Amino acid sequence: MLRLLALVLTFSSLSHAKPISAEAANAGAASNSASTQGQLATEGTTTYDGVELASIPAAPAVSEVIAAAISQAGWTIVVDSQNTATGNLGTNAIDGNTSTFWHSEYQPVLVPLPHNATIDMKTASLVGSITYLPRQDGQANGRIGEHIIQLSPDGVTYTTVAIGTWIDDATLKTTTFTPFTARYVRIQALSEAGNRGPWSSAAEINVYTAAGAAAPSPVGKGAWVLTVDFPLVPVSIAHEWSTGQILAWSSYTPSSFGGSPGTTTYTATYNPATQLVTQAIITNVDHDMFCEGLSLDFNGRIIATGGNTDAATSSYDPTANDWTAEANLNIPRGYQAQATTSNGNLFTIGASWSGGQGGKNGELYNPTANTWTELAGCPVAPMLTADAQGVYRADNHGWLFGWSSGYVFQGGPSKAMNWYLSTETGGQTGVGNRASDTDSMCGNAVMFDAVAGKILTVGGSPDYQDSNSTANAHIITIGTPPATPTVQTIGSMAYARAFANSVVLPDGTVLVVGGQISAVPFSDATSQYTPELFNPATNTFTQVAPISIPRNYHSVAILLFDGTVGNGGGGLCGTCATNHFDMQIWNPPYLYTTSGALATRPIINSISVASVANGGTFSITTNVACTAFSMIRMSSTTHTVNTDQRRIALTPTSTAGTTYTFTVPTDPGVALPGHWMVWALAGGVPSVSMQLQVT
């Protein structure tokens, strides 16, 4: 049986095994005995269920936009426990000396987790980041893993600004969040990063003033309310329909790529309900799922194809919490787009980043038969951009949409648009250019109104890199294949951007977030911090609350199950300075009243069925009268591409009290089977979603 290697489980078996005496030697650092370390994880020698971590480079310091360090002079600190016997006092965490460290008490009494440290900076500042430096004496014990960071202006009322899990290494951890005026900083440690034991330690805790301004009023702009720290750079993310979690992964290490032949993927899971981030290293599928093609099949399985391991296909079933190796691609690929079709197959095309350059014609995966079939009638040539780096870049990241009768619409990034037919031996019909748009590599395309076949396209740059992006925006209405779609040029965004991400919201607006003016992989220069919200009623963009963390190459964004948006990642460049091990969560403006308070949300009390066929009906019952309804397909995204997300505005066919009945569109090209989030809105305020599988 294929097996998921869950670090959490592995670690828990060790977590209480360590004798206190070992820690005494360890924290004292005077006479560390290798033998007392035994099975414990130490840098460079750790084995996790057969995965040798010795070859993994230490993660570099995370570079965030930080302003000035606030002087530690005069600070006081209160910790829940400290190991007085060895002098590992709380004050060591704020003494500016990286050789000394705070350690929770382990002798004479072993004080269990959780632990906490509260710093009083004596004066309030607009705080934007904190850094946590684990002990620097070569020992790992007590590195903080799962944590909660809270700020307070008065030492009475604390606000949580960040949660998550720091990676288990000795490097400096930077956590950046929405600027917040605070005098007190509290770190709660919920786990030890390697689950080696119930300890916490810190060489230094520093606090930085914000690089940006205080958050604007959330009215009309929303608010970035939480930073989620991941133990890896989330380059790919996807909805897990059965768990309500977000699965994220990087590559063969948490912060770098390029390993060969590529058999490992670091993953992490964010659970919004518990606010916990857990991690697992996937080795059983022999697949480094970095720069892969990605989409969700009809059963809500995450299907990752190619990438760094260029021919592999892997599926993840969230009900089993298990990755499975599937059939190899016929044409090895990396950077392909991939779209689930109305027939339940997965169409992929392009992708010369890996597996050789050129000739990356269309191919179809049948998940039932577990077979890949080349489609002779689906040449890649008509969708190439005129990239300065040639076909290596020209066939990357297609904007694909599964549509009626097995057709797939390709709306970009080339200025040329095509219909591909995924049935029999395939077909291709060129349908002209996207108005006067340029090639728009690493721009976005979002089907915000699937019933009308409407796609918003934004940004991108003519060449993949070293190329200035555009602020261009278009609405493509795709119509009935293989007819030529209608393209409307609409007013541009305020800001040019490539490597941004776009997310359709329950009310049909689309958030465009992150990106940079000049497209340069692994650079955060010319970052765009101000997201824009597209309004389909007016075809205009509104600037909303700024992000605090640059989100460029290898960044992601996704709608969360509660109607908030997660925007994360960027980097994955080893020792570079642009790795972002985190995600910020945005409350859209619809969650606030006109006075800036959190709005009262309607509740979907029940849904009549768990699954419904195309053309079938379902009902929801809400707690209050609702005036708008929609469904949005769960999705997966990496490298600016999300071919799964699409929104359907629902109109009740009948209403009885607060029970509303809907008919799911008959065409599986429109209501693409799979798992969807159903929303009800009252006065523009959405409920939390209810799940519905379309079959």
Ligand X SMILES: *[C@@H]1O[C@H](CO)[C@@H](O)[C@H](O)[C@H]1NC(C)=O
CB of 518 to ligand X, least distance (A): 6
Pick one of 206, 467, 502, 645: the residue that binds ligand X (CB under 6 A).
467
Is 270 labeled as catalytic in the residue annotation? no
Q: Compare residues 166 and 372 and give the one whose CB is closer to ligand X.
A: 166
Distance between CA atoms of residues 690 and 186, nearest Å? 35
CA dihedral 678, 680, 686, 692 (to 10 degrees): -10
Kindly tell me which of 338 and 470 has the beta carbon lying closer to ligand X. 470
User: Is residue 97 at the binding interface for ligand X, with CB under 6 A as the rule?
Assistant: yes
Shortest distance in whole angstroms from residue 634 CB to Cu ion = 23
* Interstrand relation of 236-240 and 102-103 (parallel, antiparallel or unpaired): unpaired
Between residues 87 and 356, which has the closer beta carbon with respect to Cu ion?
356
Q: Which of residues 111 and 613 has its CB atom nearest to ligand X in the complex?
A: 111
Q: Which residue has the tokens 């033998």?
A: 35
Interface stretch with ligand X, choices 15-23, 38-46, 171-179, 465-473 (CB under 6 A):
465-473
Q: Tokens representing 629?
A: 């309804």
Nearer residue to ligand X within complex by CB, 357 or 468: 468
What span, in angstroms and rounded, lies between the C-alpha atoms of 128 and 182? Answer: 10
Closest to 690 in 3D by CA, of 606, 624, 577? 606
Strand pairing report for 486-490 and 427-433: unpaired
DSSP E strands, 478-546: 486-490, 501-504, 510-513, 518-519, 532-535, 540-543
Contact flag: residue 466 with ligand X (CB under 6 A): yes
Query: What are the residues whose beta carbons fall under 8 Å from the beta carbon of 614, sequence distance 6 or more?
Result: 664, 665, 666, 667, 668, 671, 673, 694, 695
Applying CB under 6 A, which of residues 72, 429, 433, 518 lies at the interface with ligand X? Answer: 518
Which residue is nearest to Cu ion, using beta carbons? 291
Which is the catalytic residue, given 106, 132, 553, 660?
553
Q: What is the 3-state secondary structure (H, E, C) of 567-632?
A: EEECCCCCCCCCCCCEEEEEECHHHECCCCCECCCCCEEEECCCEECCCCEEEEEECCCCCEEEEE
The minimum distance between CB 291 and Cu ion, in angstroms, equals 4
| Beta carbons of 354 and 328 less than 8 angstroms apart | no
Q: Which does 116 bind (CB under 5 to 8 A by kind): ligand X, Cu ion, none?
A: ligand X
Assess contact for 514 and 497: CB atoms under 8 A: yes
Locate all alpha helices (DSSP H) within 343-408, ordered by sequence.
Answer: 391-394
CB of 570 to Cu ion, least distance (A): 11
By CB under 6 A, residue 116 contacts ligand X = yes
Stretch of residues binding ligand X (CB under 6 A), selected from 96-104, 123-131, 253-261, 352-360: 96-104
Residue 291 binds: one of ligand X, Cu ion, none (C-beta under 5 to 8 A by kind): Cu ion
Asked if 188 interacts with ligand X (CB under 6 A), we say yes
* Site for ligand X contains 100 (CB under 6 A): yes
Q: Which stretch binds ligand X (CB under 6 A): 124-132, 305-313, 315-323, 462-470?
A: 462-470
Stretch that binds Cu ion, among 58-66, 285-293, 364-372, 451-459 (CB under 5 A): 285-293
175 secondary structure, DSSP code: E
Stretch that binds ligand X, among 94-102, 354-362, 389-397, 624-632 (CB under 6 A): 94-102
250 binds, among Cu ion, ligand X, none (CB under 5 to 8 A by kind): none
Of ligand X, Cu ion, none, which one sits near residue 217, judging by CB under 5 to 8 A according to partner kind?
Answer: none
Provide CB contacts within 8 A for 415, sequence distance 6+: 385, 433, 434, 437, 438, 439, 440
The footprint of ligand X on this chain (CB under 6 A) covers a number of residues equal to: 10
Q: Considering only residues 43, 49, 80, 667, which one is a binding residue for ligand X as defined by CB under 6 A?
A: 80
Question: Distance (Å, rounded) from C-alpha 566 to C-alpha 651?
Answer: 28
d(C-alpha 631, C-alpha 689), whole Å: 9
Residue 90 or 367 having the CB closest to ligand X: 90
Question: Is residue 154 a contact point for ligand X (CB under 6 A)?
Answer: no
Q: Give 41's DSSP letter.
A: -
- How far apart (Å, rounded) are the C-alpha atoms in residues 473 and 443? 10
User: Quick one: three-class SS letters along 467-491?
Assistant: EECCCCEEEEECCCCCCCCEEEEEC
Q: Which two tokens stand for residue 241?
A: 């329909």
Q: What is the CA angle 634-638-643, rounded to 5?
A: 45
State the residue number with the nearest CB to ligand X: 80
**Which is closer to Cu ion, CB of 175 or CB of 555?**
555
Q: Which is nearer to ligand X, 188 or 284 (CB)?
A: 188
* Residue with Cβ nearer ligand X (440 or 509): 440
The structure tokens listed for 90 are: 């709380």
In the complex, least distance from residue 448 CB atom to ligand X, rounded to whole angstroms: 30
Among 40, 187, 202, 291, which residue sits at the site for Cu ion (rule: CB under 5 A)? 291
Binding at 468: pick from Cu ion, ligand X, none (beta carbon under 5-8 Å per type): ligand X
Residues 597-626 that bind ligand X (CB under 6 A): none
Question: Contact region for ligand X (CB under 6 A) — 95-103, 201-209, 363-371, 569-577?
Answer: 95-103
**Closest separation in Å from C-beta 334 to Cu ion:** 8
By CB under 6 A, residue 527 contacts ligand X: no
Maximum Cα interatomic distance, the chain, rounded to a whole number of Å:
79
For residue 360 the two structure tokens come to 């990356």
DSSP strand pairing (223-229 vs 159-165)? parallel
- Nearest approach in angstroms of CB 438 to ligand X is 12
Binder to ligand X among 47, 55, 99, 666 (CB under 6 A)?
99
Q: Which stretch binds ligand X (CB under 6 A): 159-167, 466-474, 544-552, 600-608?
A: 466-474
Judged by CB, which is closer to ligand X: 80, or 317?
Answer: 80
**What does the binding site for ligand X look like in residue numbers (CB under 6 A)?**
80, 97, 99-100, 116, 188, 466-468, 518
**What does the binding site for Cu ion look like in residue numbers (CB under 5 A)?**
291
- The residues annotated as belonging to the active site are 553
